[in-house]
Structure 1
Amino acid sequence: MATVTSAGELRLIAETEAWQAIEDDPRVAVFAADPLQRRFWVEVRGVAQADSDVLWVTPKQVLVGEFPGRHQRR
């Protein structure tokens, strides 16, 4: 589960293992795809911070791409 704030931060609900890993190294990379169209993908690289029961990711680099598929037929 993830949302993006108006400030551009990625808000994640993550498993316990992710929380423990963030304590050791807050640098993260999160990959996501559009679940409805399955056409576009995004990779967000940044720094994670634990707050209450949510992980916040402040992006440092964002990569956006398009999956190859039927929509690219000529």
Structure 2
Amino acid sequence: MKEEVENIKFEEALEKLEQTVRKIESGQLTLDETIEAFTKGVKLYNHCLRMLNEAEGKIKMIVEKENGKYEEIDFTI
């Protein structure tokens, strides 16, 4: 499953995570199926979080300095 998750794009991983949550919340799964779905959901969540953290590191802000020139700086929260 790890290799499956690492090769999918963010949007696809997020959609699969949402589907997994809906399955769990439906109450239609057996205990074993719920545990398997939960495990899959955690892997998808971690994959999405990792991708978001990587994207955040790539985002830059352009800031106007006092002298009227612009400077590119790293974006931080």
TM range (shorter): under 0.3
Higher Rg of the two aligned structures: 2
More helix by share: 2
